[in-house]
Chain A
Amino acid sequence: MLRHLEAIAIVLVLALFISYSRIMMVTHTGSYGLRLIEVSKGLGYLHILYDNVTAEDIVMFFKDDPSVVYISVNGTVVYRVEGTSYVTINTVFLLPNNSFLVVTVGVKY
């Protein structure tokens, strides 16, 4: 009987560990995803606001957002918070001179 109880205890600990790991994975992925969506919406708002957007406009727009840690325009880094890992969102702006401005925004991971 005691041996059975020991086995059940081991299984319970195993089950608790699996549940905890699963919950941590789900909640962590969720918050990161929300940041990604919010920054995407912010970039969409920039598209509505500006036709002739500049790097300064983009930096001014995102500088108070702690989620944004990296901005590059046409491959040139214009804003960077050191020591943070990030995932990127890319977008393009069509400029009146018929060229595209490629903007990469890094969202804190």
Chain B
Amino acid sequence: MALNTRGQVLVIAIAIFACLVLAALGNLYYPRPRIVHYVGELQTSTIVQILRVYIANRSSYITGLSNASMDINNIFYRLTLLNNTCKLNIPEVTPDDILVRMFWRNCCHLALVNLRYKYFNSTVIVNVTWSYIYLNNYTKNIGELTLTYMNFTLTCSHTYITPQYNVTIHPCLYDTLGLADIKLVDRDKGVWIVGVPYEGYPLKDEYNIVIRVGS
């Protein structure tokens, strides 16, 4: 059934009107975000992992348990190069965006990085803390030697603060020098009893971060 000229014009007019109505309705939809580049947990966790490895290296180097020293600025420079080739969605991090401090007396290793994205900023914080309370002394025979050991109650934790999550974990501890007595008391709260032969004795956690027991 053929349409005359008026009918054809009407069809076109109605088609245009329908398209306009659909476009208007489309704009009234609830916003449905589309993923172009998802930036979130993965990027901040990558920074957390990098900072934790750096703290482990730095604390081992300072205490003489490692000879190799990492350079944090070099690490982030290489990360920027990788970001260009692998599209990691991590912005360039300059030395001004990085803060790493090791407060041995205050029993704290702190690292912070600012991620400056185009439309927002993220701050990633890695905080390794420990505390100890003196309990008593005891003697221990090692070969022909008799040493006086100090017993401490030790608590150790890592806190990772990012815009997406705030996590606290209690890592396992171990003794690289093989002289300390370590006993786990409460896994959930990260409480240990450790006997060490001298003050400032270094222990490592499962991420190779060095902590010192005693002043």
Assess whether B46 is interfacial by the CB under 8 Å rule. Answer: yes
Query: What is the number of contacts between chain A and chain B, taking CB atoms within 8 Å?
Result: 115
Q: Is the CB of B49 within 8 A of A47?
A: yes
Q: Is the CB of B68 within 8 A of A98?
A: yes
Determine the interface band of chain B, counting residues with CB < 8 A from chain A.
35 or more
Report the count of interface residues on A (CB-CB < 8 A). 41
Assess whether B82 is interfacial by the CB under 8 Å rule. Answer: yes
Q: How far is the CA of A11 from the CA of B49 in the complex (A)?
A: 58
Report whether over half of chain A's contact residues are helix, strand or loop; otherwise say mixed: helix
Residues of A at the B interface (CB closer than 8 Å) are 2-4, 6-8, 10-11, 14-15, 18-19, 22, 26, 29-30, 33, 36-37, 40-41, 43-48, 50-51, 89-96, 98, 100, 102, 104
Residues of B at the A interface (CB closer than 8 Å) are 1, 3-4, 7, 10-11, 14-15, 18-19, 21-22, 26, 32, 34-35, 38, 40-42, 44-46, 48-50, 52-54, 56-57, 68, 70, 75, 78-79, 82, 86-88, 160, 164, 167, 169, 207-208
* 4 tightest Cβ-Cβ pairs between the two chains A and B: A44-B45, A44-B41, A47-B45, A47-B49
Instruction: Provide a sorted-by-A list of 18 A–B residue pairs whose CB atoms are within 8 angstroms.
Output: A2-B1, A3-B3, A4-B7, A8-B14, A14-B18, A33-B35, A36-B38, A37-B35, A40-B42, A44-B40, A47-B49, A89-B42, A90-B87, A91-B88, A92-B82, A94-B54, A94-B75, A104-B86
